[in-house]
Amino acid sequence: MVNALSLEMPYWLMTCAGLCDLLIDRSELSAHNQTAFFRDTLNTLRVAEGERLGLPRTTVDTPVYFSLDELRTAILDENQRMVPGARNQPIKGPMHGDFDRFLMRLDSRMNDVRYDFLLSPRLRETPPLWSNSYVTS
């Protein structure tokens, strides 16, 4: 018998499309920018983990571990990024503020106990040693 409290499906097993469906509201005006930046950031994190595992090829959908905290930090940094403007004065970057609602949704889901089985795995908070056995090239 499976105990529902011990059931986990780590977020990093999800595809990019599944994560976008969970975290991005397609009705927002900035949804396209959110999706593009999310995809690029997720790909960077997954490729880095794939290289660490010695995988010959990793895509944005390869089910390898990535840190949700690192993903959140990268998105927060882009959301707050300032760039040089006229007379080298800082102005808001091209995506400044585009992720405000995305970050609220992510934080809300990360703090919602109903998503613990997915977003807050108790048993596996770091790259599991067995993760490379699930990924084949």
Place of tokens 């660490």: 52
Considering its fold, how many domains does the chain have in total?
Answer: 1
> Based on the number of CB atoms within 10 Å of its own CB, is 58 exposed (0-12), middle (13-18) or buried (19 or more)?
buried
Confidence of residue 137 (pLDDT cuts 50, 70, 90): very low
Pairing of strands 82-84, 90-92: antiparallel
Confidence of residue 125 (pLDDT cuts 50, 70, 90): low
Contact predicate 106/23, CB 8 Å: yes
According to DSSP, the residues that pair with 82 across neighbouring strands are 92
Question: What is the pLDDT at residue 121?
Answer: 76
At 22, which amino acid appears? L
- Whether the pLDDT of residue 8 is over 60: the answer is yes
Q: What's the farthest any 2 CA atoms get from each other in the chain?
A: 67
Average pLDDT over residues 4-16: 87
Token digits for 118? 């997915």
CA angle 50, 116, 80 (to 5 degrees): 65
Domain range for 124:
4-133
